[in-house]
Amino acid sequence: MAGLTGLEDATENLNIGPLVSLNDFKECFAHDGKYGDNAQNKWKSKTILIYKLGDNPFRKLENVPNMFGQVVSPGKHAEIVLIEKIQTEIENRRMRSQHPIHVKVEIYISYSPCHDCSNTIVNFIEKCNREWCIFDIKMNFSNFYKHYECLRNSAGQHVPVHNEGLRKLLLKRVMLQPVTGKEKWENFLSANGVPVQKQADRLAIASSQERITREVDDNNLFLKIYNSVFH
Q: How far apart are CA 149 and CA 223, in angstroms?
A: 18
β-strand pairing of 150-152 with 158-160: antiparallel
pLDDT average, residue stretch 1-21: 43
Q: Are strands 47-53 and 101-109 parallel, antiparallel or unpaired?
A: antiparallel
* Domain range annotation of the chain: 7-230
Amino acid at 75: G
Nearest to 65, CA basis, from 1, 135, 140? 1
Q: What pLDDT sits at residue 66?
A: 39
Average pLDDT, the chain: 80
At residue 70, φ and ψ (nearest 5 deg) are: -125, 140
Distance CA 95, CA 116 (A): 30
Assess contact for 165 and 119: CB atoms under 8 A. Answer: yes
CATH among 3.40.140, 3.40.50, 3.40.1130, 3.30.70 for 7-230: 3.40.140
Residue 25's pLDDT band, with cuts at 50, 70 and 90, is: very high
pLDDT: which is higher, 59 or 72: 72
Helix (DSSP H) and strand (DSSP E) numbers for the chain: 9, 7
Mean pLDDT score, 98-107: 86
Question: If we measure between CA atoms, which residue out of 191, 185, 206 comes closest to residue 26?
Answer: 206
Top-confidence range, 94-103, 129-138, 179-188 = 179-188
What stretches of 69-160 show up as alpha helix (H) in DSSP?
78-96, 115-130
Q: What pLDDT, on the 0 to 100 scale, is given for residue 113?
A: 93
Say how far apart CA 69 and CA 113 lie, in whole Å: 18
Tens digit of each residue's pLDDT (9 = 90 or more) over 197-222: 999 999 999 999 999 999 999 999 99
71 pLDDT band (50/70/90 cuts)? low
- What is the reported pLDDT for 88? 87
Residue 111: CB partners within 8 Å, gap ≥ 6? 47, 141, 142, 143, 144, 145
In whole angstroms, give the CA distance from residue 23 to residue 44: 12
- Would you state the pLDDT for residue 16? 54
